[in-house]
Structure 1
């Protein structure tokens, strides 16, 4: 099993409302889900969504956090009340990243979004005509101080 990254008081990952709505639909089809970001070339640079347990994590992976879908305010890794997730119950989607890729991205906050287009054949959203992608920003000084505490 992989390891959690330090800085549990600061969210490292979030989710747009559009991505949350897609996750609700994908969960209805595939059951519990997970994300893995490998950082490889081509499709490996996109977050890959799998049925939970289909991608085996290990010591080469770190757990960035869990996305809360269908509960809480939008923008904090959850779907807002006006999204497709409202009223269907809440669930979490763990997000993993290869340890090597994390070394490059450890200073960034990541938001998983969805855009039109075909992504990787192994990611469960591929047949939907959309693909997940990562939007990133550097942590603020305040966030970084809390991460290092």
Structure 2
């Protein structure tokens, strides 16, 4: 998603973060520098948003960028996106152990993905330009 599109008042955001998630992202950024997220597909840590130092996870042709939360790009696999394309992802935090590879693990908090269906009006404004590889 280009920054111009993301900042447009008419833009439909595919991924957003709660204030609590944004606060944890800022805390992690202060410790680790620039960050990125990838919605895991369920292998080791279930389907959870995983937070990494920016560039630590190699993004490939099978990944799409849904947008940014707290200045960190948020990715998922194209195959997983096919199932979630009709929903907005809402990234939140709850008490508990984070994914073993995710930066929030030692904080006692973990990121959690909630989803909400797009309204018919929002769905009508979505198009293929609302995701990108980079």
Q: TM-score, normalised by structure 2?
A: 0.84
The DSSP-based 3-state class of the residue aligned with 1:27 is helix
Aligned length: 121
Any idea what the Cα deviations from partners look like across 1:95-147, whole Å, max 9, x if unmatched?
00011110110000011000000021100000001100101011000000001
Q: Distance in 1 between matches of 2:44 and 2:123?
A: 30
Find the partner of 1:126 among 72, 91, 105. 105
Q: Does 1:65 align with 2:87?
A: no
Q: How far off is 1:40 after superposition?
A: 2.0
Conserved 8 A contact 1:37-1:44? no
Q: Which runs of 5+ in 1 are unaligned?
A: 70-91
Query: Hey, what does 1:109 align to over in structure 2?
Result: 88
RMSD: 1.7
| More displaced 10-residue stretch of structure 1: 34-43 or 115-124 | 34-43
Q: Which runs of 5+ in 2 are unaligned?
A: 129-134
The DSSP-based 3-state class of the residue aligned with 1:127 is helix
Q: Distance in 2 between matches of 1:146 and 1:133?
A: 26
- The answer to which structure has the higher helix fraction is 2
Q: Does 1:96 align with 2:75?
A: yes
Q: How far off is 1:44 after superposition?
A: 3.8
Q: How far off is 1:38 after superposition?
A: 2.6
Query: Hey, what does 2:16 align to over in structure 1?
Result: 14
Conserved 8 A contact 1:38-1:101? no
The DSSP-based 3-state class of the residue aligned with 1:101 is helix
| More displaced 10-residue stretch of structure 1: 135-144 or 31-40 | 31-40
Q: Distance in 2 between matches of 1:119 and 1:24?
A: 16
Query: Hey, what does 2:125 align to over in structure 1?
Result: 146
Q: How far off is 1:66 after superposition?
A: 1.3
